[in-house]
A and B are shown apart, each in its own frame.
Chain A
Amino acid sequence: MHGTIGDIKRKKRGPGERIAFAGLLALGVALYVVCLQVADVSFARLWDGLPRLGGWLMRGWPPDLSEIDVLAYRALETVAMGTVGTSFGVLLAVPICLLAAGNVTPSRWLYYPARALLNALRGIDSFIFALILVAAVGLGPFAGVLGLALHAAGSIAKLWAESIEAAEPGPMDAVTMTGASRLKTIRYALVPDVLPSLTSITLYMWEWSVRASTVLGVVGAGGIGQELKNSVDLLQFDRVFTILGLILVMVTAIDMLSAQLRRRLV
């Protein structure tokens, strides 16, 4: 039994909720201050270092283009590593994501191990994988390819699995009810539905892999990063400039190409 409209009140935030919020905020700020301490942040040191940085910049101009052909080949090697690494990652991600997507996994006993595996692959950066793999398969871009593939497999599988889990269940139910087996149902009702978003994720990971592969040379895993490290070690800043320019051009071109391709999907 209600009285008049005036008796209906919205729920108000109580003082307890406000105190709890203030407490959480204070805790957050305290943690951030600790982080600033631990991260050894010192703007004074940045200020002192600025003249040195400026000097290098001056010495780096004009860029040294004498070895542009070698550097361009290294850049190509970087793109190739990113591309092949992503493609191997895709091959690994297909079985993992089918086990790790809740709505298509054949069993809970496979779901959790698959989730654990992809989180492990995703959690370890390709740089770290490459560092270890260089020791196993030797210096050169192949170690980089393997490192990129392992990390990309985890990331792709995770994003794919999420995309598959978001797919509408209705069409799958309907196709299952026609008597189709599980594999046929996945192929016929699920794949056409999610293929555009899976492709888009793959292209995004390809961009990411090319960017990531620019630094793999630092651990001896091939590509333009190796030249970058050599030049910095030898204080050849005019060469560093050329390399940075190449990296920018390469990454921008890949990003634009991938964005174009992704726009065509849907």
Chain B
Amino acid sequence: MKPLLVAHGLRKSFGARRALSEVSLSLEAGELVAVLGPSGSGKTTLFRCLTRLVEPDAGEVLIEGISIGRLKGAALAAQRRKIGVIFQQFNLVRRLSAIDNVLAGRLAEVPLWRVLLRQFDDKDEARAIQALCDVGLADHIDQRADTLSGGQQQRVAIARALAQQSRIVLADEPVASLDPETAAAVLAVLRGLTRSAGLAVLCTLHQPHLAEQFADRVLVMDNGVLRPQAARETTPAVFSVGEAHT
């Protein structure tokens, strides 16, 4: 099968500090790949380079087979739209209902007047309702986002990515603000959708046990270098809590 997202030899430095060195990866439909690594190891830079929010110094990114390195304006936006992004802080519009937040995933294709009046057609609404059902929130469609629990909010955010109809999902620490039980439930939803909807999910985590439990593959980011996790590699030293005071 052709991979949905490919990166070749990505390099990025900020001044003298090297954030990414020769990072390559490939992501196929139906797999959830976890990236482990401490903060500052380059995970966020990698994500930003994959969508060209940050311009890599070298290397290439292909989204569904199309290189985005030279794209501009509308063409770049059209490729970016194929990637759904999930954030640590959910980033829902707090005063809008769950379904209105999911409908945000449709905005790129909805005419401006409909957005201004917040009046969507039946097809888009049906799609949003379907997405909410897919993440198990059928009972909370009209509930305001700021009254939902953290786990529910993150599931709305996943539904928003589904409504966007992107097959590639980048999830940057999606469960870092959730308690362990909720975190596992949200990752289970994400993993289920990876299988049922054929998504390709790249997900940064910092708990190795969650990565082992839910990911098909685990990559480790260490000082800008991305490598597969060695067999039976236990919690690497980089994840231990910072040195105790001396």
Contacts and interface: CB of A to CB of B under 8 A. Distances in A.
Given A175-B93, A177-B51, A193-B94, A183 B104 contact: no
Nearest to B77: A179
Given A174-B91, A178-B107, A193-B94, 10 more contacts: A171-B94, A174-B85, A174-B157, A177-B80, A178-B84, A178-B164, A179-B77, A179-B78, A185-B107, A187-B118
B58 interface: no
Given A170-B91, A178-B160, A184 B96 contact: no
Contacts of B90: 170
B140 interface: no
B115 A174 contact: no
Interface in B72-99: 77-78, 80-81, 83-85, 87, 89-96
6 contacts: A170-B89, A177-B85, A179-B108, A187-B118, A188-B107, A192-B95
Given A174-B85, A178-B105, A179-B164, A193 B95 contact: yes
B244 interface: no
B104 A180 contact: yes
Given A187-B116, A188-B118, A192-B96, A178 B108 contact: yes
Interface string A178-198: 111101110111001101100
Nearest to A171: B93
Interface of A: 1-2, 168, 170-171, 173-175, 177-181, 183-185, 187-189, 192-193, 195-196
Contacts of B84: 178
A183 B111 CA distance: 12
**Could you say which interface size class chain B belongs to?**
20 to 34
A174 B87 contact: yes
A184 B51 CA distance: 20
Contacts of A195: 95
Nearest to B79: A179
B231 interface: no
Nearest to A177: B85
A179 B87 contact: no
Nearest to A2: B246
Interface string B26-45: 00000000000000000000
A245 to B, nearest CB: 42
A171 B77 contact: no
Given A189-B93, A192-B93, A178 B115 contact: no
B112 A184 contact: yes
B94 A184 contact: no
B66 to A, nearest CB: 15
Contacts of B118: 187-188
Question: 5 tightest A-B contacts by CB?
Answer: A179-B108, A179-B81, A180-B107, A170-B91, A174-B91
A170 B93 CA distance: 9
B108 A188 contact: no
A2 B96 CA distance: 53
Contacts of A185: 107
A193 B81 contact: no
B91 A193 contact: no
A187 B115 contact: yes
Interface string B149-166: 000000001001000100
A179 B112 contact: no
B107 A171 contact: no
A174 B112 contact: no
Contacts of A177: 51, 80, 83, 85
A168 B146 CA distance: 13
B107 A184 contact: yes
